[in-house]
Structure formats: C-alpha cells, structure tokens
Structure 1
Amino acid sequence: MRRTAVSAAVLAVLLTAAACGDDSGSDGEEPIRVGQIVSLTGNYAPLGTENEKSVKLAVEQVNAAGGVLGRRVELFVRDDKSQPDQSVLAFNDLKGRDLAAVIGSPFSNSALATIPLVDRERIPYLSLTPADEQVDPVHPYVFVVPATSATYADRILAYLRSQNIGRVAVAYDGKSSYARAGFTSSRAKAAEHGITLTATPEFQTTTTEFSAVFNQVRSSGAQALVVWATGAPGVALAKQYPTAGLRLPVVFTGAQASKLWLDPVGAAAEGAIVASSIGVVGGSLPDGAQKRAVQELAEPFQRTYGYPPPQFAQDGYTGVKLLVAAIEKAGSAEPEKIRTALEGLTATTPNGTYAYSATDHAGLKADYISINTVRGGALVPTEWASQQLATVVGK
C-alpha cells in the first residue's frame, strides 16, 4: 500500500494514533488504517468530541498492547461539521486511503447521508448513531454501535409498564432522525407493553420554549412523559419541566446520559429518569467480565479528562473494540473479511455484549440498557434496572 500525501486543504487534521512516530507496524508490517468521521464543530460537537476522545484512547491502548495481528492501528479523523454533506465529503476523502474500516458520525443525519457511499465502496462502517434506518433494512457494510432507537423505546416502555403506568405522552424532535425513529418505535411497540400513547407533541431542534408541549401533555391525561431529543432541546425542556406543574415522571433517552446534559440542567434534573447503556453506570455493576470491560474505558478516561465517560464516549470506545475483535476473528484487515467477521461476532464491551448476525447489524439487545434516575447530579440505576441487569452481567 502507498501512503497518500496530505495537503493543507483536507477537511480536518490527520491524527496518527501510534504511540511513537514510526508509521510502520510491528515486524515491518504496514499499519492498519482506520477512518473516523466525527462532529468536531457545529451543533453536535459536544457529542463528537467525546467520541473522538474515546476512539483515540482505544487506539492508543491497542497499539500499546502490540497492535492487531502484530500491526499498529493508524487513525485518520475527519470533521463532518455536524452537516450531512460534510460527512459525505469526509467519506470521499477517506475512501482512497486503503482503509480497513470507518467509524462513523454520532449525528444520525450525517450517517444516513453517508450510507449510500458505504454501500457502493464496500468499506465496513461502524456507526456511532442509533438511527434504526441504518440497519432496517440491513445494509451489508453498516453496523450500528449504540443501541438503536427502537431498542431504547422497548426498554423504556417495559420500565414504565413495570411501574403500573399505562398512559404515556411522547414528545419528540421532528427534525432529528434519531428522535423520529424513537417516536415511531414507541408508537409501534406501545400496545405490546399494554401502554396507550395519549399525546405525541412534536417540536423542532430550534425550539427553546416548551409550554405548548407541556399543555398538550397536561390535557391528555398522561401518567408519564417520554422525551426524544438530542442536544439543546433536551436541555431546555428539562430545565423548564420542574416549573411546568405536570407532576409526572419524565423520561429521557441515551442522548441525555451525559454530563453534557446533567451539568447545564443542574438541579432541574433531579428525579428525572434517563435511559443509558450499561457502561454509563458501570460502577454500580457487580464484579465480573462486564464490569471489567467498563473499567478498561472508565478508569483511564477519568484520569485523563477528570470525569466519567459519557454515553458518547462509551460508543466510540466500543466501536474500536468491536472492530479490533472482528479483525482478530478474521485474521485479516481486508474490508470484506472484516465485514464477514462482524456478521458472526459476539463480543463483550462497555456497552454490553454484542451478537451481530447476517440479519441483525444492531447486535445489542434491550437487556443492556439501564433505566436510571438522577440523584445528586449523577445517574443511578433504578431498583428495576438493577434487578434486570443482574440477569445479564453474570453471563
């Protein structure tokens, strides 16, 4: 393979994650080249920067341990600027670099815009966004890392039913692919859990005042409110909720399982319910393989950045772990062999144990989602979640 020269006009800085300056792999082997498309600027930069931190950390750990198949991993990072067209440009820039795989954007709209190119170029794409359209129907080279919106919806509804809640309002951002998918899945799965949706107010990514949403919920007779949003709307709605006078449980999704939400919402978050991957509350897990997988990320991340890894960091780190496991299983860094290995891969990561297959490119079941409450500014598993997680963490 030939190294391609890097001009000053590339979309973002090229990062080489090797611990030393030597680009060659162990025993003279060339490095395994991996691309990352990530939102480092724009509205989704708070998510993307956490992805980038954890992906870099995972690559550094892999290289410090001798690499993969005796070869170092070299990381090429491109900024999609929180814009779908920029994700497309980034993929086009990366595809000629003899990549083994690409780790994709945390922004659903960017990932969805890029998938047609992934299909055409046949490069494995591990997506860090949970939009269901990426895997339903299956795209041969696309594998989703976070639990999908449908999986989150299923877990949240199961929790609400366990609390004897049967009437639920769902508010969602109509401009977000992630939020729309969450709403659609909630509507489709509600009856399975014996739940009726009493109101479904839609808002926009630019919405800053939510009294109209609260009024619809109030008049609907709902017993709880589920909110599907990412970024600023999730913060604004949560800050306004305590003074809305609803006195109903409010439930947020994995997009809010982060200090990026907890810190700006502050005291208004107390008592809110927030779903998350198992890794976000890893400190509450019993000892075992799952907790050890969480600690591999949590301890060095905490030392480096001074706070626990949020959901978006869990996803980035897990993406690298899944890719490395697939390369090892394949015994090769050839894209087609990686894709085949991913389709038969079972691996325990900070997010839980994945079991991809030819018909399931999501791989992560609802069992590995924790339903938490905010207590003292931190996410703590509910009693229900602790009981549920105990059935899987020992496997």
Structure 2
Amino acid sequence: MLFPGKEALVIKLKKFLSGLILLIGIILTLTACIQQKPVTIGFVASLTGSTSELGVNGRNGLMMAVEEINDAGGINGRTVEVVVKDDQNDPETGLAVDQELYEDGVSFIIGHMTSNMAALSIPFVNSKDMLMINPTMSATTLFNQDDHLIGVVSPNSDQAAVIKASMVKNGGEKKVAVIYESQNLAYTGTVKDGIAREIVPLGGQIIYEEAFLSGSNPNYLDITQRVSNTNPDSIVILASSFDAAMFCQQFYKLKNQTPVYLAAWSMNNDLLLQGGGAVEGVTITSLIDLDSRIPTYTAFREKYLSKYGAEPTFAAVYTYEAAMILFDAMAEANSNDPETIKNTIIKKSTYQGLQSDIIIDGYGDASRTIYEYVVKDGQFKKAE
C-alpha cells in the first residue's frame, strides 16, 4: 500500500515518463524526416540559342548521373533532385539564376558551361559560400585560384599546345589566321592567346584575327573572304559547332585549301550535321577519346545512346563525372556544407572517370589528356 503522497508522486512520474517517451518519439520522427529530405542541387547552363548544345548535352549527362545514384539508394539514403536553370549564355542572366538558386536554399551548382559565365557567377558563389562544380569552363584564367570552384576540365592552354603541334606537323605554324566568337571571349580569347604564345618561339605569328558575335547573323562569307585574302598557312576557328560549320561552308565555297583547326567547343555531332562535306579534313581537338573501350565508358555510351538517340559529347561525359564527384564527396563527408565538400574533394584528389582517372589539385583544378581528331568520311577519326 502506497502512502497518499507517494501515490501522487508515482502518477506524476508516470505522466512525465509518458510525455518523455512521446517527445523522444517526435524527435526521432523529425530526425528521420530531416535525414530523408532530398539533396537538391542546381544545374545552370545555356539551354537555348547557338551555344545550347553544351547545355543540353551537359543536362543529359547530369540526369544520367542522378538517375544512377537514386537507383542505388541515393546519397546516404537521400534522393537527389535537380533544379535546372537556363543562363541563356548571358552573364547577367546567369548571375540572376544563381541568385534564385541561393534564395531557394540551394548551395551546390553544377555549371556553368561556357567560360564567359564565370566573371559574375564565381564572385557571387564565393561571396555566398556556395560550391560550383565546373564541367566545361576551361578559360586558363580560372585556374590556380583559391575559390569555390571545383573543375573537371583541362585549361585552354592544353588545347592550344595540341593545335600548335598539329600545325607544326603540317608545316603551318608561321602565318596563322584566327576567327573567334566574342561573347564567349573568356574561352576563345584564352585559346587564341595560347596559340600565339605557342607559335612565337617557332617564328610564327597570328597575322590576322577577327571576332564575331554568335546569334547576331554574322556575315560568314565576308569574314571568310577577309581571312582568305591574308593567305595564311593555317586557319583557326574558335566557335560553337554551328558557327564553325557555317564558316567551313563558306571556306568550302571559296575552294579553300588551307588547313582548318577547331577547338573542343566545336566537337559534337552538330558540326557534322551542319557542316556536311565542308568540314571534311578539318582537324579538331577533343576532350574525350571517342574510340575508348574502357568498360565504364562503353556502358555509359550505350545507355546514353539508348536514352537520347545520339553519341555522348564531351559536355555529357564531363557533367556526368562532375556530378559523380560531388555525390561521392557528399556521401563520404555525410555533409551538406559546401566548404566541407570542397575540402573532401580536394583531399581525396583522385577520382575514377569514365575513361581515366581524374586528378584534382589543391586549387580544385584538373588537367586531362587532350585528343586530336580529323573529320573523314563524315565521321570523327582519331588523328595519326
């Protein structure tokens, strides 16, 4: 038999324990809900206009990575969701959509895809302690910077060196003419300047250069005529696949016999479709090995072909790899903190890409093999 005072105490204790158990249950439920909240990332690229091939292919590669990670159970049990934004290849628009993502609570962005977008976007990402994973912005000026940018692409100086070597092989490094797109000057300008630096020690120089603005109906014929009138040993076109194809069409009409070189920006199927016979014999740098038989790449290629009905481009490959590096770091660190993820990526440094290992240095930069192809019989064939 309990004393009256003790009976009341027992009743109060039971109520307290019941309330405590209920509170613990609520906390555990809320914790489980928080843990299962999806991981949301942003993807920002040009999805419309003349540079959209980069953005569309990049988006395709990203969605394959997201599908793959979600099918495997997500990141520590959390599914991945993507908010897609079109930067229209305009820096002001790019900054605006980056701000929208930040205001919506998104801390990680995969993108942008063209180097001209970096001037406004990277300072913003830095100021807000976000993290941007860069698939294809390769302007040399973006490298060796302590910022909130992790890249999986080589600097443009690597492409310039390959183009120079090809010119030397063909005896055309002395007098070079360059046509370059001006909106993406951060890319085209650094490739152009890199070529100039490479050929000067060999007694070469850029004897003529002309810029044009993509999407503004440039007079392709007039520009090609001015280039041809300078009698160069080599012609370099630094532009999207569409614009490069249009210039090649005009050189073809002029019966041009001077070797033409393109940078990796032009390296996709649109060049072949738009250029037709006019791009036969053109030499082009490539950021991927189209002939790779590495199992991870062939499996990706077959799945991409089945899903999208086209060959994967370097933009698709690099964006897939960028996403997988981000997801790997998130899983390993079990964190959504951008600084923690950045440090985790840099500390690990070596990642298995679709074709080869990707080595990321202390600045978050990568350097990778550049390949060289020639258009032959309407296809990209590896240069000998």
TM-score in terms of structure 1 length: 0.79
After the TM superposition, which residues 192-341 of structure 1 pair with which residues of structure 2 at under 5 Å, given as runs?
A: 195-205=204-214, 206=216, 208-230=218-240, 232-279=242-289, 281=290, 284-285=291-292, 287=293, 291-341=294-344
After the TM superposition, which residues 1-395 of structure 1 pair with which residues of structure 2 at under 5 Å, given as runs?
A: 29-132=36-139, 135-136=142-143, 138-167=145-174, 168-177=176-185, 178-191=187-200, 195-205=204-214, 206=216, 208-230=218-240, 232-279=242-289, 281=290, 284-285=291-292, 287=293, 291-344=294-347, 345-350=349-354, 352-359=356-363, 361-365=364-368, 368-383=369-384
Pick the structure with more helix per residue: 2
Instruction: Please list the CA deviations of residues 170-205 of structure 1 after superposition, one character each: whole Å capped at 9, or x if unmatched.
Output: 221233222122112222233356643333333332
Report if the CA contact (8 A) 1:55-1:317 is conserved: yes
Aligned pairs, number: 350
Question: Partner of 1:389 in structure 2?
Answer: none
- Supply the AA of the counterpart residue of 1:362: D
Q: State the structure with more CA Rg.
A: 2
Measured after TM superposition, the shift of residue 252 of structure 1 is: 0.8
Structure 2: how far apart are the matches of 1:375 and 1:171?
23
Question: Which stretch of structure 1 is more off in the superposition, 197-206 or 69-78?
Answer: 197-206
Partner of 2:109, secondary structure, is strand
Structure 1: how far apart are the matches of 2:169 and 2:75?
44
Report if the CA contact (8 A) 1:32-1:100 is conserved: no
Segments of 5+ residues of structure 1 without an aligned counterpart are 1-23, 384-395
Report if the CA contact (8 A) 1:278-1:352 is conserved: no
- Supply the AA of the counterpart residue of 1:138: Q
Report if the CA contact (8 A) 2:112-2:137 is conserved: no
Identity percentage of aligned residues:
21
Question: Partner of 2:25 in structure 1?
Answer: none
Report if the CA contact (8 A) 2:246-2:274 is conserved: no
Report if the CA contact (8 A) 1:157-1:193 is conserved: no
Structure 2: how far apart are the matches of 1:187 and 1:157?
9
Aligned in 2, Cα 1:381/1:59: closer, same or farther, shift over 3 Å? same
- Supply the AA of the counterpart residue of 2:278: A
Partner of 2:133, secondary structure, is strand
Instruction: Please list the CA deviations of residues 45-67 of structure 1 after superposition, one character each: whole Å capped at 9, or x if unmatched.
Output: 33212211111111101111222
- Supply the AA of the counterpart residue of 2:205: T
Measured after TM superposition, the shift of residue 217 of structure 1 is: 4.0
CA RMSD, Structure 1 to Structure 2 (Å): 2.7
- Supply the AA of the counterpart residue of 1:358: G
Measured after TM superposition, the shift of residue 131 of structure 1 is: 4.0
TM-score in terms of structure 2 length: 0.82
Measured after TM superposition, the shift of residue 321 of structure 1 is: 2.1
Partner of 1:260, secondary structure, is helix
Measured after TM superposition, the shift of residue 26 of structure 1 is: 11
Instruction: Please list the CA deviations of residues 58-87 of structure 1 after superposition, one character each: whole Å capped at 9, or x if unmatched.
Output: 110111122233432221212223322221
